[in-house]
Amino acid sequence: MGIGIEGEFSLVSVLVSQGSLCYTSSYENTPIYACFAGGLSALILLCARAQADEQQEVRLFLETHCVECHGAETQEAKIRLDTLEFPSNEHVTAHVWKRVVDTVERGEMPPDYQDQPEDSEKQAWVEQVVHVIAQANPQPIALRRLNRLEYENTVHDLLGIDVPLADLLPEDGKVQGFDKGTDGLSFSSVLIEQYLEAANVAFDAAIRRYAPLPAEIRRTDLMSVSENIDSVRKKKGGVIEIDNSFVKFTPGWPPARLDPVNPIEDGVYRCRIAVWPHNPGDRTLAVAIYEGALFRGDTREFIGNFDVTGTSKEPRIIEFTCKFAEGDTIYVLPRIWPEHVTWRDKHEQRPGVGIVWA
Q: What percent of the chain has pLDDT over 90?
A: 7
How high is the pLDDT of residue 280? 85
305 or 4, which is more confident?
305
| Domain assignments of the chain as residue spans, ordered by start | 10-136, 148-206, 222-357
In the predicted model, what is the mean pLDDT of residues 200-213?
79
Query: What's the whole-number average pLDDT of the chain?
Result: 75
pLDDT at 347: 64
What pLDDT is stored for residue 14 in this prediction? 28
Closest CA to 356 of 247, 235, 233, 237: 247
**Total residue length of the chain:** 358
pTM recorded for the entire structure: 0.48
Distance CA 328, CA 333 (A): 16
pLDDT at residue 138, as a whole number: 63
User: Buried (b) or exposed (e) across 162-195, using 16+ Cβ within 10 A?
Assistant: ebebeebbeebeeeeeeeebeeebeeeeeeeebb
pLDDT of residue 82 exceeding 60: yes
* Confidence tier at 318 by pLDDT (50, 70, 90): very high
What percentage of residues in the chain have a pLDDT greater than 70? Answer: 76
What does the H/E/C string look like for the chain?
Answer: CCCCCCCCCEEEEEEEECCEEEEEEEEECCCHHHHHHHHHHHHHHHHHHHHHHHHHHHHHHHHHHCCCCECCCCEHHHCCCCCCCCCCCCCCCHHHHHHHHHHHHCCCCCCCCCCCCCHHHHHHHHHHHHHHHHHHCCCCCCCCCCCHHHHHHHHHHHHCCCCCCHHHCCCCCCECCECCCHHHCCCCHHHHHHHHHHHHHHHHHHCCCCCCCCCCCCCCEHHHCHHHHHHHHHCHHHCEEECCEEEECCCCCCCEECHHHCCCCCEEEEEEEEEEEECCCCCEEEEEEEEEECCCHHHCEEEEEEECCECCCCEEEEEEEEEECCCEEEEEEEEEECCCCCCCCCCCCCCEEEEEEC
State yes or no: pLDDT of 29 exceeds 60. Answer: no
Mean pLDDT of 98-118: 80
The answer to whether residue 316 scores a pLDDT higher than 90 is yes
Domain 222-357 has CATH 1.20.1440: no
**What backbone phi and psi angles, to 5 degrees, belong to 16?**
-105, 125
Distance CA 303, CA 348 (A): 31
Residue 25 pLDDT > 50, yes or no?
Answer: no
Q: Which tens digits make up the pLDDT trace of 153-187?
A: 998 888 888 888 888 888 877 777 776 666 677 77
pLDDT in tens, 39-72: 545 544 555 666 777 777 778 887 777 877 887 8
Average of per-residue pLDDT across 300-305: 86
Confidence of residue 111 (pLDDT cuts 50, 70, 90): confident
Look at residue 17 in the predicted model and tell me its pLDDT. Answer: 31
Is the pLDDT at 314 greater than 90, yes or no? yes
In tens, the pLDDT along 225-277 reads 888 888 888 878 778 888 988 888 866 667 888 888 888 788 888 999 999 99
pLDDT of residue 307: 92
CA angle 242, 300, 303 (to 5 degrees): 65
